[in-house]
């Protein structure tokens, strides 16, 4: 039995208009490509990166810091790829 590793990374939203519906949908699609659990945390609130509705409740505006947390298979890769999307989406 292997122990699941948890990975996390903090990034800042750089998209001028924040992460609105279209880029959030791309983020969800990327998150769903991983088997592991992926959580996005912003200002103390958490949501699954695999839920478009929940992500939209976080207030992912320009300049806010976001923590991406993943646990399970390929969690490290998931954190890197989801974090990269949060930084580059606009």
Active site residues: 20
How many angstroms separate the CA atoms of 53 and 51, rounded? 5
Compute the C-alpha angle 34/39/44, nearest 5°: 170
Sign (positive or negative) of CA dihedral 65, 31, 81, 36: positive
Chain CA centroid to CA 44, Å: 14
């Amino acid at each position: 039995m292997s122990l699941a590793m948890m990975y996390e990374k903090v990034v800042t939203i750089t998209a001028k208009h924040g992460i609105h519906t279209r880029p959030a949908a791309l983020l969800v699609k990327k998150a769903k490509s991983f088997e592991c659990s992926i959580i996005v945390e912003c200002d103390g609130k958490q949501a699954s990166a695999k839920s478009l509705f929940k992500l939209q409740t976080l207030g992912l505006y320009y300049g806010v810091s976001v923590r991406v947390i993943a646990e399970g298979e390929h969690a490290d890769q998931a954190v890197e790829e989801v974090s990269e999307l949060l930084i580059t989406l606009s």
